[in-house]
């Protein structure tokens, strides 16, 4: 089995800034894979050799030039790491076979270069695919392309290293069996302790396995340990305070004072407060605004009721309402 890791370097940003940064990252990656410390690094020869589909030793200068000439490519480069489970005798042939089949499947003439890393327990190959192929077409790689590349790599290993490939597959399958058996044993243990049961039945099982008093004492101790101490402890509702603009503030301040503080914080960046304190402040303001609005609604309702109840007028100690005839008050209207 072959493992492939894929990342890409995109040219993001306006005014060419993103492109310059992406080109710089690509060149830095090229230098890294070529000059990373290790016994396999060629000393005094400019680092590990770079190769592609036709040349065994590429010029680093020429590759930097090719990277800089990518023009308006959306992606400057794709970075692949080919990590075969079986180390092929000829890693260049292996890499060329994978990249040739990948190019054919995408219908592109991919422009790429690669560097071998043999300084770790798991030998691997770093491949850099330029963002445009040799015909100037944009290059994109999907998950489907990566899966195909894995298939091409496995096919090469099975063809050229059948014995090692079969042994590696058997070892992998055996390891997977061990992993599944371990998970099965863990599940049995959890099931024996009732941890796989619904919460109610699980509680019953736990009480059987562990006396309730001991269980309750342990839970209380855990709760006490989790509780904040000292200044971190939550203050009572009436003692909730925040520090802002050189003084203390609380719910006891008026709505106007709290609104002025809020405006002050917006106007004076140097007096900013923590997020939790600001949430308290805005919460107090909302509560007070809501309370004031409700008070106004109550006052309006009372006034309306009074108007309904006083749907009459008084004159000389007598009341006159809408049910009385117009003749009744005529005498005092004339006077």
Distance, in Å, from the CA atom of 15 to the CA atom of 26, rounded to the nearest integer, reads 19
φ and ψ of 61, to 5 deg = -65, -45
By percentage, how much of the chain surpasses pLDDT 90?
27
Within the chain, what is the greatest distance between any pair of CA atoms? Answer: 128
How far apart are the C-alpha atoms of 223 and 29, rounded to whole Å? 50
DSSP state of 16: T
Q: In angstroms, rounded to a whole number, what is the distance separating the alpha carbons of residues 276 and 274?
A: 6
Across 121-125, 129-133, 150-154, least confident range? 121-125
Reference 81, options 65, 66, 98; nearest CA is: 98
What are the tokens at 289? 């605004």
Provide the 10 A C-beta neighbour count for residue 130. 22
Q: What is the pLDDT of residue 4?
A: 86
Architecture of the 2-158 domain: 2-Layer Sandwich (3.30)
User: DSSP code of 237?
Assistant: G
pTM for the model stands at 0.53
Q: Is the pLDDT of residue 154 over 70?
A: yes
pLDDT at 104: 95
How many residues appear in the chain? 335
pLDDT higher than threshold 90 for residue 331: no
How much is the pLDDT for 333?
A: 47
Mean pLDDT of the region 26-55 = 81
Q: Where exactly are the structural domains of the chain?
A: 2-158, 168-214, 241-309
Which pLDDT score, from 0 to 100, does residue 123 have?
Answer: 82
Checking if the pLDDT of 49 tops 50, the result is: yes
pLDDT tens readout for residues 285-323: 998 888 888 877 767 666 555 555 556 666 666 766 666
Of these ranges, 104-118, 177-191, 199-213, 298-312, the one predicted with the greatest mean pLDDT is: 104-118
């Amino acid at each position: 089995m072959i493992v492939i890791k894929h990342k890409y370097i995109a040219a993001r940003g306006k005014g060419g800034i993103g492109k310059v940064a992406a080109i710089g990252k690509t060149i830095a990656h090229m230098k890294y894979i070529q000059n990373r410390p290790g016994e396999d690094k060629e000393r005094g020869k400019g680092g590990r050799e770079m190769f592609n589909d036709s040349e065994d030793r590429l010029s680093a200068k020429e590759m930097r030039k090719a990277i800089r000439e990518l023009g308006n490519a959306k992606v400057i480069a794709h970075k692949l790491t080919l990590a075969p489970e079986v180390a092929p005798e000829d890693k260049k042939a292996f890499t060329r076979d994978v990249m040739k089949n990948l190019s054919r499947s995408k219908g592109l003439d991919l422009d790429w270069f690669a560097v071998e890393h043999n300084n770790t327990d798991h030998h691997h190959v770093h491949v850099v695919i330029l963002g445009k192929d040799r015909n100037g077409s944009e290059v994109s790689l999907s998950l489907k392309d990566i899966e195909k590349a894995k298939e091409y790599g496995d096919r090469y290993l099975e063809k050229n290293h059948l014995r090692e490939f079969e042994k590696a597959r058997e070892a992998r399958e055996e390891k997977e069996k061990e992993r599944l058996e371990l998970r099965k044993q863990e599940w049995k243990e959890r099931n024996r302790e009732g941890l796989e049961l619904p919460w109610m039945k699980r509680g019953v099982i736990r009480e059987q396995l562990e006396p309730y008093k001991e269980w309750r004492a342990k839970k209380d101790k855990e709760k006490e340990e989790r509780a904040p101490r000292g200044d971190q402890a939550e203050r009572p509702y009436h003692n909730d305070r925040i520090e802002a603009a050189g003084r203390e503030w609380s719910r006891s301040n008026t709505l106007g004072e709290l609104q002025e503080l809020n405006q002050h914080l917006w106007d004076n960046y140097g007096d900013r407060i923590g997020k939790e304190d600001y949430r308290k402040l805005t919460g107090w303001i909302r509560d007070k605004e809501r309370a004031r609005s409700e008070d106004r609604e109550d006052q309006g309702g009372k006034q309306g009721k009074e108007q309904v109840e006083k749907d009459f007028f008084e004159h000389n100690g007598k009341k006159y309402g809408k049910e009385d005839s117009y003749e009744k008050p005529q005498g005092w209207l004339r006077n």
